[in-house]
Amino acid sequence: MPKWNSQNTCMLLVDIQEKLLPVITGHETVLLNSIRLLKAARIFQTPLLVTEQYPKGIGPTVAALKELFPAGTPTPTKILSKTTFSCCGAPGFSEALDSLNRPFTILFGIETHICLLATLEELQAEGRNVLLAADACGSRNPEHHALALDAARACGAAVLPTETLIYRMLGDSARPEFKELLPLFK
């Protein structure tokens, strides 16, 4: 697999919504690491796609994340509503992802064993490079989360902690972004 960096990576935030997040095991950690990823996206000007599963019933993306959506990037954040479990079935998703022209996608959100795994499997089958932020996703049942992480690895996805993904995007502590990123992990 070629190396990912801040210039060839996009992010996909999946279904971290008001009514769903509170029932996720370890939801505080999922939220914290999602915030870290979004702050890094702002620093790197990384394109972001967001999905919301049936927002009429489950509510919008949690406000703490929405306020961090990258601003002033060449590609504005796109929020897509869906009823399919895989993001790939959302109207306009494939076109939106293709338009970013980024070969690597950092995937995070909820639930790991349903929407994230279904999306990951489809993206990998299409030949895309998926990087799953293991500590920025979760499920109601921790066993389901663990099994989905195993399945993601079996599909060929890189399953890594948020900190690893961000520092790999940085690549070099001599870059000016390094000092901006340091507070994220203190």
Question: Residues 159-176: pLDDT tens digits?
Answer: 999 999 999 999 999 999
Rg (the chain; Cα; Å): 15
**Amino acid found at 146:** A
> In angstroms, rounded to a whole number, what is the distance separating the alpha carbons of residues 98 and 159?
22
Q: Look at residue 112 and tell me whether its pLDDT is greater than 80.
A: yes
> 69 near 77, Cβ under 8 Å?
yes
Q: Using 50, 70 and 90 to split pLDDT, how confident is the model at 1?
A: low
**Amino acid found at 182:** L
> In angstroms, rounded to a whole number, what is the distance separating the alpha carbons of residues 133 and 124?
15
Q: Is the pTM of this model over 0.85?
A: yes
Residue identified by tokens 């801040």 is: 6
Q: Give the CATH fold of the 9-185 domain.
A: Rossmann fold (3.40.50)
> In angstroms, rounded to a whole number, what is the distance separating the alpha carbons of residues 162 and 119?
19
- What pLDDT does residue 186 have? 85
Buried b (16+ CB within 10 A) or exposed e, 28-58: eebbebbbbbbbbbbbbebbbbbbbbebeee
User: pLDDT tens, 33-47?
Assistant: 999 999 999 999 999
Structural domain boundaries in the chain: 9-185
- What pLDDT does residue 44 have? 94
